[in-house]
């Protein structure tokens, strides 16, 4: 008991020693005549469970008392009312939840899916129930050797399929890995022993490799004034086994059997990127292996930088870089957060995750105040932030699906399969037919109704809430639209050919704009959908085209000489001049090609056109090569005037990770560059990635480069480059 009290005082910010001692004595008395299968007094088990709660899932003294008492109601003559009378309603509620979960697994008739259902629904009342059950299961797995082979197999499989995945979801990495390895040892002892033996035989070699690898990194980190810890750890046995199976390789063929971890004693996340820069300056990184979980945390709140580099020995080495706070969270999950806050006295949230941001704020406020109801607030904040943002629903066969709060049958259908989603016409929720807009609730059993004739409509985007569903709906709608546009274009071209009408793309773009269509695609879509008949379309275009045709007839078929052209053209702003013939600049009309959008600072050439003056292109424009072949004599070398002033249109192509707020960050970054005006933004997202084009007015290439630099600094941006339309 002394060990229990001492560790509790040292590890937990709030620890009522007398209440915990009372719970321990109650536990010993309740189990006084009980023995474990091993022959040990039974109270040693709840004692070890309580120690795990203190050491590995540090929460609060309420959880420690519940751990000591978690088997009392199930295995002794004492009732839940006795627990509540002696220790209060909070402890009793956690013990009750733990007892109910035990009852679920004790029933052989209940399916695994139903276990999931009952377990998940029990979490809504108090998250500490499952944390105590993790500790209970971990100690049982550590002592599993005393059970019969049949019970060992059943417990190991249940642990592997249920408890380990839940531990991962809670961010309890150490517990998850240990549960997996202990289960693996029971379920496949041959593979377990082979991998363990192989790792033991290479331990000395790994130690030497890690020391050689870490030395130059440590030296440079010290130069930067950083405080840090570098250690190497072998991968866990079950994760190594999974790699062997998935890659079809033997143990000695795997390159990443261990990882080097750099833990920084800093409160500045940017130091992680500084350390990454140091590592990648010493060792060549493998680009596709870089993962930025610092800026984009995992759903369970995990944050770290992951990279793989090539050592001087030619071996691939995985490197993880994180702050001490991130490390605590990675090892012990969400419970570590408020322990870290209490110990360090931090005043701002370090969790930069949408899921946990509000929860972290709650915890910070709790520990800055010393109210008696702190434990209750902790519980409420857990409940509100960890679970109320998600719902747990089931298929008719009992398969669990996790969706965000507010999800509808459309979201559920697309979560099953894209084809199910596309053909969804309704749903049965708990055997009652509901519309597609029905909001699902935790515990609902959902059956999707489909029809092969169904297709998504634009209104589905107003109903669906998950990114997966909305992405698939947009893709289907875009595919349908592309099909309609292609059909409309086909109808137009057939009728135009039949009537011997020739309309180039530029003229058609101009005419469709006059007809209030956004572009030619909208015009073709209107033809295919019947908004305008093909006959009306042809008549309207011909009416708009006739004035232009008359003007063209009056012009010479041959391009004018430069002398003739310059004498009739109107003057421009003087921003461009023709190299080698300054006399030709007077009264010359220049215009800028939309295909490449040149701006001052670009290398440029000019093309003498019929009736439109000199068209200015970037020298690198893809269209120039063709024009040089066809119109070599009409290509002029141009230069920008040093007195040039004005705004020039430039196109920027951007790709990156699709996430909330990305568009706002892009436009804010561009607007932050002085004298920048945005003309248009077009973004299209699919499978968590977006691709977009941005058109802006700039003064020159230096101005444009400043915009590029700003965009590159945005979290999640992958590429930024000039766009040629």
Interval 54-74: pLDDT, tens: 988 777 899 999 999 999 998
Q: Is 78 a residue whose pLDDT tops 90?
A: yes
Q: 642 — phi, psi (to 5°)?
A: -70, -15
| CA distances, 173 to each of 93, 165, 178, 300, 329 (Å) | 26, 10, 9, 11, 9
pLDDT at position 724: 67
Q: Which residues pair with 229 in a beta bridge?
A: 263
Lowest mean pLDDT among 89-98, 193-202, 632-641, 701-710: 632-641
State the Cα angle at 348 between 343 and 354, rounded to 5°.
115
75 belongs to the catalytic site? yes
- Which of the two residues, 1 and 306, has the higher pLDDT score? 306
Cβ–Cβ under 8 Å, residues 65 and 135? no
Task: Write down the H helix ranges in 70-160.
Answer: 72-75, 80-87, 89-106, 112-123, 128-142, 149-158
Rounded to a whole number, what is the largest CA-CA distance in the chain? 114
Nearest to 195 by CA among 207, 181, 205: 181
Closest CA to 285 of 294, 275, 295, 293: 275
Positions of CATH 3.30.70.260 in the chain? 648-722
**φ, ψ at 168 (rounded to 5°):** -65, -40
State the pLDDT confidence band at 688, using cuts at 50, 70 and 90. Answer: confident
Tell me the range of 166-175, 437-446, 685-694 where mean pLDDT is highest: 437-446
> Using CB atoms within 10 A of its CB, is residue 487 exposed (0-12), middle (13-18) or buried (19+)?
middle
Among the four given CATH numbers 3.40.50.720, 3.30.450.20, 2.40.40.20, 3.10.20.30, the one describing domain 390-465: 3.10.20.30
Query: Where exactly does CATH 3.10.20.30 map onto the chain?
Result: 390-465
Span(s) in the chain for CATH 3.30.460.10: 197-332
Measured between its terminal Cα atoms, the distance across the chain in Å is 75
**Across 90-105, average pLDDT:** 78
Q: How far is CA 608 from CA 174, 459, 634, in A?
A: 71, 50, 5
Choose between 446 and 546: higher pLDDT.
Answer: 446
* 364, 347 Cβ separation under 8 angstroms: yes
For the question of residue 724 being annotated catalytic, the response is no
Query: Is the predicted pLDDT of residue 648 greater than 90, yes or no?
Result: no
In the prediction, which pLDDT does 672 show? 87
pLDDT tens, position by position, 346-384 = 333 222 333 333 433 433 333 333 333 433 433 333 333
Distance, CA of 569 to CA of 591 (rounded, Å): 12
Query: In this structure, which topology does domain 197-332 adopt according to CATH?
Result: Beta Polymerase; domain 2 (3.30.460)
**Weakest-pLDDT range from 160-174, 223-237, 482-496:** 160-174
> Comparing 301 with 453, which gets the higher pLDDT?
453
Averaged over 503-516, what is the pLDDT? 74
Is pLDDT at 509 greater than 80 in this prediction? no
Q: Which helix (H) or strand (E) holds 508?
A: helix 505-514
- pLDDT (mean) for 487-510: 77
Q: Is the pLDDT of residue 676 over 60?
A: yes
Rounded mean pLDDT of 417-440? 90
- In CATH terms, the superfamily for domain 648-722 is ACT domain (3.30.70.260)
CA distance 61 to 64: 5
Tell me the pLDDT band of 84, cut-offs 50, 70 and 90: very high
Paired tokens of 345 = 């006295």
Residue among 6, 34, 40, 74 flagged as catalytic: 74
Residue 14 or residue 224, greater confidence: 224
DSSP, res 253: G
For residue 585, the model assigns a pLDDT of 55
Cα–Cα nearest to 61, from 517, 378, 459: 378
Measured between alpha carbons, how far is 279 from 214 in angstroms, rounded to an integer? 9
The arithmetic mean of pLDDT across residues 315-328, rounded, is: 90
Give all strands (DSSP E) within 103-188, no chain letters. none
What's the rounded mean pLDDT across residues 205-230? 91
What's the CATH fold of domain 2-187?
A: Hypothetical protein af1432 (1.10.3210)
Rounded to 5 degrees, φ, ψ at 467 are -60, -40
**Per-residue pLDDT, 351:** 27
Q: What is the pTM of this model?
A: 0.47
- Asked if residue 332 lies in contact with residue 176, where contact means CB atoms within 8 angstroms, the answer is no
State the average pLDDT for the chain: 78
Q: What is the pLDDT of residue 389?
A: 58
User: What is the Cα–Cα distance from 216 to 716, expressed in whole angstroms?
Assistant: 30
More confident residue, 454 or 283: 283
Among 7, 75, 114, 380, which one carries the catalytic annotation?
Answer: 75
Q: Is the pLDDT of residue 52 over 60?
A: yes
Examine the pLDDT at 530 and tell me if it is beyond 50. yes
Beta partners for residue 403, in sequence order: 391
- All CATH 1.10.3210.10 domain ranges of the chain, comma separated, are 2-187
Confidence of residue 222 (pLDDT cuts 50, 70, 90): very high
- Residue 20 is predicted with a pLDDT of 95
């Amino acid at each position: 008991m002394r060990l229990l009290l001492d560790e509790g005082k040292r590890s937990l910010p709030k620890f009522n020693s007398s209440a915990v001692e009372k719970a321990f004595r109650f536990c010993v008395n309740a189990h006084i005549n009980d023995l474990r299968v091993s022959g040990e007094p039974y109270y040693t088990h709840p004692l070890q469970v309580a120690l795990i709660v203190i050491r590995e899932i540090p929460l609060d003294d309420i959880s420690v008392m519940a751990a000591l008492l978690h088997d009392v109601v199930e295995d002794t003559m004492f009732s839940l009312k006795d627990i509540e009378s002696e220790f209060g309603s909070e402890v009793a509620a956690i013990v009750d939840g733990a007892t109910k979960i035990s009852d679920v697994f004790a029933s052989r008739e209940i399916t695994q899916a139903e276990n999931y259902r009952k377990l998940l629904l029990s979490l809504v009342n108090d998250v500490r129930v499952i944390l105590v059950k993790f500790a209970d299961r971990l100690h049982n797995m550590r002592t599993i050797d005393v059970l019969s082979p049949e019970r060992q197999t059943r417990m190991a499989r249940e642990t592997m399929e249920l408890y380990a995945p839940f531990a991962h979801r809670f961010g309890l990495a150490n517990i998850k890995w240990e549960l997996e390895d202990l289960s693996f040892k029971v379920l496949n002892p041959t593979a377990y022993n082979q991998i363990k033996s192989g790792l033991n035989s290479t331990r000395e070699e790994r130690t030497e490799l890690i020391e050689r690898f870490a030395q130059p990194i440590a030296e440079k980190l010290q130069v930067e004034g950083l405080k840090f810890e570098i250690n190497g750890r072998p991968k866990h046995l079950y994760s190594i086994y999974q790699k062997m199976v998935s890659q079809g390789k033997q143990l000695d063929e795997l390159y990443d059997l261990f990882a080097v971890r750099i833990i920084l004693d800093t409160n500045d996340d940017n130091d992680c990127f500084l350390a990454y820069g140091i590592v990648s300056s010493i060792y060549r990184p493998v680009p596709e292996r870089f993962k930025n979980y610092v800026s984009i945390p995992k759903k369970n709140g995990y944050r770290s930088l992951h990279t793989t580099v090539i050592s001087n020995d030619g071996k691939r080495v995985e490197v993880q870089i994180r702050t001490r706070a991130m490390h605590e969270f990675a090892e012990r999950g969400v419970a570590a957060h408020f322990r870290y806050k209490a110990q360090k006295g931090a005043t701002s949230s370090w969790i930069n995750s949408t899921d946990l941001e509000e929860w972290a704020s709650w915890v910070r406020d709790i520990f800055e105040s010393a109210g008696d109801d702190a434990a209750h607030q902790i519980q409420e904040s857990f409940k509100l932030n960890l679970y109320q943002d998600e719902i747990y629903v089931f298929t008719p066969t009992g398969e669990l699906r996790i969706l965000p709060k507010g999800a509808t049958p459309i979201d559920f259908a697309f979560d099953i399969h894209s084809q199910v989603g596309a053909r969804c016409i309704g749903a049965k929720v708990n055997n009652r037919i509901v519309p597609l807009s029905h909001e699902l609730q935790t515990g609902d059993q959902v059956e999707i109704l489909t029809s092969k004739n169904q297709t998504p409509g634009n209104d589905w985007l107003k109903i669906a809430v998950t990114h997966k569903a909305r992405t698939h709906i947009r893709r289907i709608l875009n595919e349908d639209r592309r099909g309609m546009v292609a059909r409309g274009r086909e109808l137009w071209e057939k009728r135009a050919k039949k009537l011997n009408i020739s309309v180039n793309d530029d003229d058609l773009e101009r005419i469709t704009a006059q007809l209030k269509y956004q572009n030619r695609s909208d015009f073709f879509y209107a033809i295919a959908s019947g908004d305008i008949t093909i006959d009306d379309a042809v008549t309207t275009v011909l009416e708009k085209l006739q004035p232009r045709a008359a003007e063209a007839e009056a012009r010479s078929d041959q391009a004018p000489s430069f002398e003739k052209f310059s004498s009739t053209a109107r003057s421009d702003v003087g921003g461009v001049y023709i190299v080698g013939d300054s006399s030709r600049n007077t009264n010359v009309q220049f215009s800028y090609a939309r295909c490449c959008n040149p701006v001052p600072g670009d290398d440029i050439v000019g093309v003498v056109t019929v009736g439109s003056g000199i068209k200015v292109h970037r020298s690198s424009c893809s269209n120039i090569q063709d024009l040089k072949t066809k119109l070599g004599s009409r290509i002029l070398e141009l230069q920008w005037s040093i007195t040039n002033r004005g705004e020039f249109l430039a196109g920027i192509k951007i790709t990156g990770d699709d996430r909330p707020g990305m568009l706002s960050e892009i436009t804010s970054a561009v607007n932050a560059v002085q004298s920048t005006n945005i003309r248009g933004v077009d973004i299209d997202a699919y499978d968590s990635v977006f691709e977009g084009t941005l058109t802006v007015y700039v003064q020159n290439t230096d101005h444009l480069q400043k915009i590029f630099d700003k965009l590159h600094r945005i979290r999640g941006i992958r590429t930024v480059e000039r766009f040629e339309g």
